[in-house]
Structure 1
Amino acid sequence: MNPALIPLVTGTEVTFWVCATMMVLGALGLVLFRKAVYCALSMVVVMVNLAVLYAAMEGPFLFVTQIIVYTGAIMMLFVFVMMLVGIDRPDSTVETIKGQRVLGLIAGVLLAALLIYAIAGAVTVGPAGLAGPNAADGGNVQGLAGLLFGRYIFVFELTAALLITAAVGAMVLAHHQRIHPKAKQRDLADERMRAYAATGEHPGTLPNSGIFATHNSIGAPALLPDGSVAEKSVSKTLVARGATIDPAGLQEGTRRNFEELERVRDADEEDDE
């Protein structure tokens, strides 16, 4: 057999097939997983492997940006918000925005058309590669900076202005005018004592959410000594959005935890004897 006819497999090709397989699996997990936190972590897998592909194609700026900005900041922010609002509560099936299904269908059709166009272009046209950008004066990063702050400076500044406008708009919408002076700590304490004298409401702090430190989400309510749910530990926002609480299941979990605690304590006492 002629050695010249033996196909050579480069490290870039191996990296592509490994990362591409992981990206496809991550994308499938994003669509198929039922829990939102698993979907977010699957998206992290896709973004990390995309960053590795950038590195394999000698794009150091895109590699670092992909890791720091998207994987390290945005996706971790998504995971943090999911853990904060509760990941085990069921999603509400009530539509709060009229026509969102029609808009979602239109957006899905446009996205499918865009994917078909991109895949068709990738199949019919050969890869451009990064030989041209890497051959610029100073290398890849300097060439990219020359494009951003040269040919595409107007689009770059327009995008920056759009992001700043969006941030300012979010702050304006979230801001509310204070109509009462801010209550001080002494005022809050006096109000609690007046409520205790008038209605017998406990003057202490509200019960913390979570059960035996197995949860740190506000979606997991606290339990009273009799095993019932402490209503004040349940977020009013989650209740308004249709979150359901299973007191029987929480009581069963409490009972199992107490039994395990008693078993461990009895075993320790036997060992001491």
Structure 2
Amino acid sequence: MTFWILAPLALAGAIGMVVARNAVHSALWLVLTMLSLGVFYVLQAGPFIGMVQIIVYTGAIMMLFLFVLMLVGREASDSLIEVLRGQRIAAIGLGLGFAGLLGSGVYRATQGSTPLGLEQANAGGNVEGIARLLFTDYIFAFELTAALLITATIGGMILAHVERRKEDKRDQVATMKARFAPGNYPGPKPGPGVFATSSSVATPARLPDGRLSDRSTPDILPVRELTAEETTLKGTEK
């Protein structure tokens, strides 16, 4: 009964994850699928893997993924432009082919076979049995996996860390001298349209000596030059 209730929910979550245009909605659909899988594991006499599925993958990894998405901010319009032509169709075809190949392989490997050794592995409880196997028969693989994860974490920290030489670090005095060096503009930029005949963002501001300030307008906008008549009118108003 539980399977017939949660199986459609898991399938709907998987389809919603692929179909949803918003990345946050896609992650929430995936959470629904993961919760359903966790319940399936518990029903199959695997409470440890079921709780790991719910607590670690759903409660920790997916929530962290959601926090990153909400901090960075992604919109549906970000995925409308395809970098490679036909990549969506190719991805769908390859995904369906891989799913069929994997499903057929699992079916052929498990057809007509009876699981053995579950009673001995779960003797005294599922959690106790997994702990006993991890720290006895599979201790080398367990420690090797832990070493690989630590190495990957340290490698990520090293790649993200930017080391600067001591002579490259500038103190407050050096920063102040660089700011007021010839060619720099230490003060705030004048707003567009200041001392001009128009308040348009494309109208450059005028400096106190009458020159136009190129720093007052963005580089992507065409600068609107004042005509001689407008300049004369501006001088009359002053």
Q: One fold, TM greater than 0.5?
A: yes
* Alpha-carbon distance in structure 2 between the residues aligned to 1:72 and 1:153: 27
1:9-158 to 2 correspondences below 5 Å: 14-88=1-75, 89-91=77-79, 93-94=82-83, 108=95, 109-110=97-98, 112-122=100-110, 124-125=111-112, 128=115, 132=119, 135-136=122-123, 138-158=124-144
In 2 relative to 1, CA 133–55 (structure 1 residues): closer, same or farther, beyond 3 Å? farther
When normalised by structure 2's length, the TM-score is 0.62
In 2 relative to 1, CA 143–43 (structure 1 residues): closer, same or farther, beyond 3 Å? same
- Contact 1:133 1:140 (8 Å CA) reproduced: no
* Alpha-carbon distance in structure 1 between the residues aligned to 2:148 and 2:93: 25
* Alpha-carbon distance in structure 2 between the residues aligned to 1:81 and 1:69: 17
One-letter amino acid of the counterpart of residue 163, structure 1: L
Give the Å deviation of 1:126: 5.8
In 2 relative to 1, CA 201–119 (structure 1 residues): closer, same or farther, beyond 3 Å? farther
* Alpha-carbon distance in structure 2 between the residues aligned to 1:50 and 1:133: 25
Aligned residue number for residue 10 of structure 1: none
Give the Å deviation of 1:133: 5.4
Unaligned runs of 5+ in 1: 1-13, 203-225, 229-273
The alignment partner of 1:116 has SS state of helix
1:219-238 to 2 correspondences below 5 Å: none
In 2 relative to 1, CA 63–39 (structure 1 residues): closer, same or farther, beyond 3 Å? same
* Alpha-carbon distance in structure 2 between the residues aligned to 1:168 and 1:21: 41
* Alpha-carbon distance in structure 2 between the residues aligned to 1:130 and 1:49: 26
Give the Å deviation of 1:201: 3.5
One-letter amino acid of the counterpart of residue 181, structure 1: K
The percent of aligned pairs where both chains have the same amino acid is 42
Asked whether 1:169 is paired with 2:155, we answer yes
Give the Å deviation of 1:116: 2.4
When normalised by structure 1's length, the TM-score is 0.54
- Contact 1:51 1:67 (8 Å CA) reproduced: yes
1:203-218 to 2 correspondences below 5 Å: none
Give the Å deviation of 1:27: 0.7
Deviation by residue 1:47-97 (Cα, 9 ceiling, x = unmatched):
1111112222332212221122100111111111111211215136336xx
* Alpha-carbon distance in structure 1 between the residues aligned to 2:58 and 2:122: 29
